[in-house]
Structure 1
Amino acid sequence: MFVSRSQAETQPGEAPVRRLYRILVRDLVLKCLIGIHAHELLAPQRVRINVDMSVLEQAGPLSDDIANVVSYEDVIDGIKVMLAEGHINLVETLAEKIAELCLTDERVETARIRVEKLDVYAEAASVGIEIERGRQ
């Protein structure tokens, strides 16, 4: 007999415990056209992207099936498609678009996105933004 993980952690009369896990994409470095300055309109520059998603764990027994989890491969492919679509003015805009991409999967509760430009200032390793978005 299989008992769901959420059932196993609750007592009779209690609401099931919501279990979350995290999907991470760390230090994804890609080239893209981003920025508001004239030189940024002409040449791609490196950005580093970090994604941290809190995902609602499925109810029921654990299964070894990719269909039952949020795929980091889909997130990375989606980001690559987004960057190939053309110029983006602001790192803030890119971060928002990535958060929207992550939240298209109903299992994703929150998405924390960091976007950094790597080659803007010789004196700084990077400049960028971090946002966190969730379901309303």
Structure 2
Amino acid sequence: MDEIALHGLRARGYHGVLPHERAEGQTFVVDVRLGVDTRAAAATDELTRTVDYGVLAEEVTAVVAGEPCDLVETLAQRIADRCLAHSRVGWAEVTVHKPQAPIAVPFDDVTITIKRSRA
């Protein structure tokens, strides 16, 4: 499998267990890696033979901006499910960054990374 990657997708979401996270929201950042066999696309030069990463970027950010959930684990799973809904995607690795997580000590970022595949 070849790999298509999108880095640093940003969207405002209202995910978290604390009331202020749900009320005020925050920016989430998402990185996605996809396993795609791109040989047919390369041979034919046809977008329909691969994954349209522009469309996928819009879908991923719509998930982040969509229905709130308590956990970033749930958010990452929803994004992975959206990626795997594309028939040409064999596997997806999703990293969700929550750089404004409610942590009382100095930190740079909080992330979760999940890997999902068909089967």
TM bucket (normalised to shorter chain) is: 0.7 to 0.9
Candidates 105, 108, 118, aligned match of 1:125: 108
Deviation (angstroms), 1:95: 0.5
Matched, 1:24 2:5: yes
Looking at structure 1, the residues matched to 55 and 41 of structure 2 have their Cα atoms a distance apart, in angstroms, of 24
TM-score, with structure 2 as normaliser: 0.88
Q: 1:63 to 1:38 in 2, by over 3 A?
A: same
Sequence identity of aligned pairs in percent? 28
Residue ranges of structure 2 left out of the alignment (5+ in a row): none
TM-score, with structure 1 as normaliser: 0.78
Deviation (angstroms), 1:69: 1.2
1:5-51 per-residue CA deviation (whole Å, 9 max, x = no partner) reads xxxxxxxxxxxxxxx22111101122111100111110111111000
Q: Whose radius of gyration is greater, 1 or 2?
A: 1
Deviation (angstroms), 1:60: 8.4
Q: 1:61 to 1:81 in 2, by over 3 A?
A: closer
Report SS of the residue matched to 1:53.
strand
Residue ranges of structure 1 left out of the alignment (5+ in a row): 1-19
More helix by share: 2
* Equivalent residue, structure 2, for 1:3: none
Candidates 81, 88, 104, aligned match of 2:85: 104
Deviation (angstroms), 1:55: 0.5
Deviation (angstroms), 1:123: 1.2
- Runs of 4+ displaced beyond 6 Å: none
* Equivalent residue, structure 2, for 1:135: 118
